[in-house]
């Protein structure tokens, strides 16, 4: 009976397997990172931008109305009311800024201009132009400090 040295398990290199596992780990890590970023992005609150876009739409419609000579109260009041209601949500939309005094002042300033316009609604295009100017100034008063 001779011993059979050939049958002994040959020391094998595992380098290939390690490389494979390393690359697999990289790939899994990359996929997980992308999924994590997506989840973070999805959690970003769409409300503040949505509020701003609706404000922009409504005030844009008022400017269009002035240009098109549609300046009766029935054309403008609903939009002014919508703008006034929406501007109640300025602070809740930007919880991080709401405690800043300048932000609060700008928000109150816009609400005050709208209150004034609702108390004495524009009856002709000259008055509507003045209201539009005041509303635009209200937007700018905040954007100057808080929008880049
Ligand atoms: C009290 C503060 C404040 C007032 C008043 C205000 N905004 Fe803004 N607005 C912001 C801030 C803060 C941003 C920046 C938001 C951001 O970067 O996510 C912004 C951004 C915007 C944007 C860009 C949105 C985007 O997604 O890029 C528009 C359009 C806009 N505002 C329209 C208006 C209009 C129109 C008015 C007035 C009727 C108005 N805003 C009044 C604070 C205000």
For position 39, what pLDDT does the model report?
83
Q: Which of 4, 85, 11 is nearest to 51 (CA)?
A: 85
For position 85, what pLDDT does the model report?
98
- Residue 139 CA to ligand 1 center (angstroms) comes to 7
**Average pLDDT along the chain:** 92
Which of 31-35, 53-57, 74-78, 95-99 is modeled with the greatest confidence?
Answer: 53-57
pLDDT band at 13 (very low <50, low <70, confident <90, very high): confident
- Residue 59 CA to ligand 1 center (angstroms) comes to 12
pLDDT of 37 above 90:
no
Quick one: tokens of 105?
């002042």
Cα 48 to Cα 43: distance, rounded to the nearest angstrom: 13
Give the Cα-Cα-Cα angle 32, 34, 36 (nearest 5 degrees). 65
Q: Which long-range contacts (CB under 8 A, 24 or more apart) does 69-74 make?
A: 69/125, 71/122, 71/123, 71/124, 71/125, 71/127, 71/128, 72/123, 73/121, 73/122, 73/123
pLDDT band at 88 (very low <50, low <70, confident <90, very high): very high
Ligand 1, residues 41, 52, 60, 108: which to mutate, most atoms within 8 A of Cβ? 52
Of 7-16, 99-108, 120-129, 133-142, minimum mean pLDDT range: 7-16
Ligand 1, residues 134, 136, 139: which to mutate, most atoms within 8 A of Cβ? 139
- 80 CB within 6 A, ligand 1: no
Instruction: Give the ligand 1 atom nearest the CA of 91.
Output: 1
Percentage of the chain beyond pLDDT 70 is 94
pLDDT of 6 above 70:
no
Instruction: Give the ligand 1 atom nearest the CA of 90.
Output: 1
For residues 122 and 130, the answer to whether their CB atoms sit within 8 Å is yes
């Amino acid at each position: 009976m001779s011993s059979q040295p050939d049958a002994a398990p040959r020391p094998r290199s595992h380098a290939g397997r390690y490389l494979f596992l390393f690359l697999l780990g990289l790939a899994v890590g990359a996929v997980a990172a992308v999924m994590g970023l997506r989840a973070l992005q999805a959690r970003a609150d769409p409300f503040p931008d949505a509020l701003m876009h609706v404000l922009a739409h409504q005030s844009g419609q008022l400017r269009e109305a002035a240009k098109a000579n549609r300046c009766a109260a029935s054309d403008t009041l609903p939009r002014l009311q919508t703008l006034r209601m929406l501007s109640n949500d300025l602070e809740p939309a930007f919880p991080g800024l709401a405690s800043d005094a300048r932000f609060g002042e700008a928000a109150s300033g816009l609400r005050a201009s709208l209150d004034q316009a609702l108390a004495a609604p524009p009856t002709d295009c000259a008055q509507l132009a003045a209201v539009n100017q005041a509303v635009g100034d209200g937007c700018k008063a905040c954007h100057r400090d808080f929008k880049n």
